[in-house]
Structure 1
Amino acid sequence: MANPSEPARDSHVSVLAFPFGTHAAPLLSVTRRLASASPSTVFSFFSTAQSNSSLFSSSSDRPANIQVHDIPDGVPEGYVFAGKPQEAIELFVKSAPENFKREIAAAEKEAGKKVNCMLTDAFFWFAADMAAEMNASWVAFWTAGATSLTAHLYTDLIRETIGVKEVGGRMEETLGFISGMEKIRVKDIPEGVSFGNLDSVFSNLLHQMGRALPRATAVFINSFEELDPTFTEKLGSEFKRYLNIGPLALLSSTPQKEALVNDPHGCLAWMEKRPPGSVAYISFGTVMTPPPGEVAAIAEGLESSKVPFVWSLKSMVHLPKGFLDRTREQGIVVPWAQQAELLKLEATGVFVTHCGWNSVLESVSGGVPMICRPFFGDQRLNGRAVEVVWEIGMTITNGLFTKDGFEKCLDRVLVQDDGKKMKRNAKKLKEVAHEAVSSKGSSSRNFRRLLDAVVNI
């Protein structure tokens, strides 16, 4: 029960995180802001023990009204993994509805108050029914961009128009029948929409999500209205409330925190000595690493081009022999780098990326053009938008790194005239992004609307 000496809690929000990839961290970031803005509201945050231990390594900056709860990961006792893709995700998803119900009931008992809002990762489409049963509202967070959200919202229309599975001959066709998707090709959309394994647990989850989201009290995303104005209007007509509240990367730093930036390998200090717009920053996120041949091609392209670089690379085993010694003065390879901070520096001239949404938005926020090498999911969509919609970067030739291809990309973005155009476009978007999160900007206005939807102030 709540301590009787504490102020009465006026609402109880259950926050359901998806504990894989980079989903839980941005949801926690939003939850922190909501909790700080509404200190009399209890926020019960649910994720797996492994996810929570990573997210809450320090409780010093966690508002007192966020209560952390572990939920089972869905892996049966004694289970032996077969090594299938997404195996852990599938086990979690299958058991999630019942596990969440049980743990939410326990949290209600602990807080002494029923949940009146479910704030969840949009993946949890079953929250629509759970919230209805609990007489609570459902507010869903789509952690990626508006283009991919649109693809999942209109999955049935895409399947009816393009067909399913055997769409090989139509992969180059564009989705002009959906407003805002005129430059998006069939081959750019995520697996499981009209090609790939449409019957997998994950494909089914996304399909069900697209059907369920119009039932939500609000759907919000980590973006800003001005980045995709067509989608802002279109999705605004599909959902009860559609709210862009980002870029979150521009909201997560404070002067105190900036003084304590974690830079264990000295990347920021190294960058500060380099000329403006000269350095290639290379990172493919926490999940993917290019195949060994492409890692070698990146290294060979860098060495041959003489472009200064910072490369975040978990394993250096596939680098060409002697590469680190030969490029000691040219660049540094580190197992981890403070990406958001590096992308703010004037020295950063291009970001070589897998095009995960968080990475794209951090690059937009820093005004840095991109060289894109997508792998799966929404990454191809994001790369396509970078190249032909926003014109702030390019996709690697034929989708794979080669020494010569990478050299040409670096030269185009860092030296050629169309690279200068990409830089100008990126700088304009950066200015608009910063304006969006200002006190009178669109994202700040939308955050106030989100706060109202979540805590009913």
Structure 2
Amino acid sequence: MAKPHILVVPLPAQGHVTPLMELSHRLVDHGFEVTFVNTEVPHARVVGALQAAGGTAALAGIHLASIPDGLEDGERLDVDKVGDSYSRHIPGHLERLIAGMEASGRPKVRWIVCDVYMWSSFLVAKKFGIRVAAVWPAAAACLAISMKAPKLIEDGLLNDKGSPERDEMLQLAPGIPALHTSQLPWINFIAPEWQRALFELCRQTERVSALAEMVVCNSFSELEAGAFTVLPPNVLPVGPLTSDRELQKPVGQLLPEDTRCLPWLDAQPDGSVVYVAFGSSTFFDPRQFRELAEGLELAGRPFLWVVRTDFTTGDLNKAWFDEFTARIAGTGMVVSWCPQQKVLAHRAVACFVSHCGWNSTMEGVRNGVPFLCWPYFSDQFLDRNYVTDVWRTGLAVSPGADGVVTKEELRSKVQQVIGDDEIRERARLLRDAAGRAIGEGGASYENFRKFVDLLRE
């Protein structure tokens, strides 16, 4: 008997590909055949990173497929062209992919499991009579805020473009972090013109629980208890998501991982290393980059710093950076990308200086790592407020009046986070709660069973 065939469709960005790839591995483990669909550019980057790591065999049951997005190089930061692609081009290409798979003898697609933001998938599923479940890859509180967007407009807090009409703090329910109206998830996103597009996507999430039979999210009940009191009952937490307990299966990295950092970590004392990573989309100007580098050096601790090749805007003084890396060679390590899940699970890591993207936040929570929060855009401010105000498992940097976080501020906050026994204990307790949630009989474990049972129907 053929395995049930599931089509998994992420938004084509690192923070969305990773949790849907983790979910795909779990579905394969439960007897499903999975086709994982990216648009062509991220698909090529995922395949390239896999080849650099030794090939695609580790996918073990996940078939990678790609569709065009209809965009030329240079158009993917043009909000109008991207919107046109998602509404006009992607649905047709997805339809042709499904029809082609069936014509080639692949089992009929029974379900599409798609990113909430990939609305085109809902339309295609309806046309083919395929059932739909959705994945929300950010905090459940972020989904709650997005689904309340029409009500926030009605109450006069926002205008119809998503901009705040009032300068105040917003809290939807006890346990959900209070968030300033200037830091709502669709604000501070890449460029001002993107706010309108992202806000329109957020407004549409109000319809998601009606369109999808179930929505699963990478969270757990104890972590976000307040959020689940205001979300529809078919939104279920199944996290923390992992590809496998041993962290050996690939999670769809768009960049090749530098695994030299793992033996370097092995050589460091327990609880000594400051791990610094800002995800796939954060950019620093040369001045802030230099303050960050010199702050890590000033802290006087071993550090592992992820510096993407496109991490800085403008011209960074290469001679200065070469001198810096030579100076810190005995205590610090700089890599272009790393196997973050393995790093955060390592005994040597003392704290995580993070942009607070949700995947990074969940990976830190799962491993009991204290945070120093340095949010950059979108939902990262909400995640920071969870860390600092609700869970109290870390602190946040404070930029100066000019918006720059100084090296002295970084050194001071690193010392405070690592030296705070209560922060470390709360992080440990949250780690244990995460383990209970996904362990046999735990709330996320049982929710995932409900999800699997639904997909088998």
Counterpart of 2:297 in 1: which secondary structure? helix
1:35 aligns with 2:32: no
CA contact (8 A) 2:176 2:224 kept: no
| 1:352/1:191 CA distance change after superposition, 3 Å | same
**Candidates 187, 199, 203, aligned match of 2:199:** 203
Q: CA deviation at 1:440?
A: 2.3
Q: Distance in 2 between matches of 1:343 and 1:123?
A: 28
Partner of 1:221: 217
| 1:389/1:439 CA distance change after superposition, 3 Å | same
Counterpart of 1:204 in 2: which secondary structure? helix
Q: CA deviation at 1:297?
A: 0.6
Considering Cα pairs closer than 8 Å and 6+ residues apart, tell me whether 1 or 2 has the greater RCO: 2
Counterpart of 1:106 in 2: which secondary structure? helix
Partner of 1:230: 226
Partner of 1:413: 417
CA contact (8 A) 2:75 2:81 kept: no
Q: CA deviation at 1:163?
A: 2.2
Deviations 1:161-180 (CA, angstroms, capped at 9, x unpaired) = 31226966734x22234454
| 1:183/1:266 CA distance change after superposition, 3 Å | same
Partner of 1:422: 423
Q: Distance in 1 between matches of 2:395 and 2:78?
A: 29
Partner of 1:100: 94
1:254 aligns with 2:252: no
Counterpart of 1:181 in 2: which secondary structure? coil
**Structure 2: runs of 5 or more not aligned:** 251-255
TM-score, normalized by length of structure 1? Answer: 0.84
Counterpart of 1:311 in 2: which secondary structure? strand
| 1:368/1:441 CA distance change after superposition, 3 Å | same
Q: Distance in 2 between matches of 1:257 and 1:115?
A: 24
Q: CA deviation at 1:337?
A: 2.3
| 1:446/1:318 CA distance change after superposition, 3 Å | farther
| 1:267/1:11 CA distance change after superposition, 3 Å | closer
CA contact (8 A) 2:356 2:375 kept: yes
Counterpart of 2:179 in 1: which secondary structure? coil
Q: CA deviation at 1:191?
A: 2.3
1:338 aligns with 2:345: no
Partner of 1:382: 383
Counterpart of 2:59 in 1: which secondary structure? coil
Residue 216 of structure 1 aligns with an amino acid whose one-letter code is: A
Partner of 1:117: 111
**Candidates 20, 29, 40, aligned match of 2:13:** 20
Q: Distance in 1 between matches of 2:195 and 2:290?
A: 36
Q: After the TM superposition, which residues 434-453 of structure 1 pair with which residues of structure 2 at under 5 Å, given as runs?
A: 434-453=435-454
CA contact (8 A) 1:413 1:422 kept: yes
Residue 50 of structure 1 aligns with an amino acid whose one-letter code is: V
Partner of 1:152: 146
Residue 282 of structure 2 aligns with an amino acid whose one-letter code is: M
Q: CA deviation at 1:121?
A: 0.9
Question: Which one is further off, 93-102 or 184-193?
Answer: 184-193
Residue 456 of structure 2 aligns with an amino acid whose one-letter code is: V
| 1:245/1:303 CA distance change after superposition, 3 Å | same
Counterpart of 2:14 in 1: which secondary structure? coil
Q: CA deviation at 1:257?
A: 6.5
Q: CA deviation at 1:451?
A: 0.8
Q: After the TM superposition, which residues 311-330 of structure 1 pair with which residues of structure 2 at under 5 Å, given as runs?
A: 311-315=305-309, 317=316, 320=320, 322-330=323-331
1:61 aligns with 2:58: yes
Residue 24 of structure 2 aligns with an amino acid whose one-letter code is: T
**Structure 1: runs of 5 or more not aligned:** 1-6
Percent identity, please: 28
Counterpart of 1:376 in 2: which secondary structure? coil
Q: Distance in 2 between matches of 1:309 and 1:193?
A: 29
Q: CA deviation at 1:108?
A: 3.0
Counterpart of 1:433 in 2: which secondary structure? helix
Partner of 1:188: 183
Q: Distance in 1 between matches of 2:128 and 2:340?
A: 41
Counterpart of 2:57 in 1: which secondary structure? coil
| 1:29/1:19 CA distance change after superposition, 3 Å | same
**Candidates 166, 170, 176, aligned match of 2:171:** 176
Q: Distance in 2 between matches of 1:263 and 1:117?
A: 32
